[in-house]
Structure 1
């Protein structure tokens, strides 16, 4: 059974029939706050953990400042300029809107005039020809008739023209 008193185990050494007990090892209890800087717990190859001096951690190298690329500077300087230009264009269009509306009305009127001219000029010319040399005044009109015939896909075409 268990006895109420805890015992500390100590390693034993056997030399023949004699048993030699070594003195118990008492390790002091060290709190983490009591460990001085530069000392840390290490595990030895045989598995024993002990305190040992450790080298201070190497400081991290500070990266050298990189120069800003030229394209980044150009873009940074150009961005506000483009933004101001777009804003100015918007303001200009808002001031010019009534004039632009008037110009579109003028362009539609000009297009209607061109279409009316294209239609009216042949009508005027036709009526002027009839008035000068129409069929009722004894003038002659010539009718031209053309007949073309061809045989086969690549056959030679022949034709006649009749003037009446």
Structure 2
């Protein structure tokens, strides 16, 4: 006898007898109508059939039906690589053309500066040349020209007079 056990356990069955078969315990009978939803008969790996909770199988009506792919989505999917390739090609072309574009922009700025200089310098030179020859403003030899033009109607003939003073 063990020190922690206050009493002695004696089996009432005859386990030593090879022909002894204990009587099975009575099992309750469950009718199929009494089985609640979500519970079903299952067979365990050792072959014993028992009741167990099961996961409901999805019905085919709840599964979404396959939808056809819209035409705009197909077109977009086909155009996306083409547009991307075109953008990549343009980027590569600009990278090769960058030195030439930079040189052309410098040339255009130089041409614009030359035009601005010409527009401002030519009148100054002409004014200085007139004063040197005596035809400048304020002298007795200055000539004023006036012109009067008249026309009647939208498509009428224009008449004009020119006065030298």
Q: Structure 1-normalised TM-score?
A: 0.49
Specify which structure has the higher proportion of strand: 1
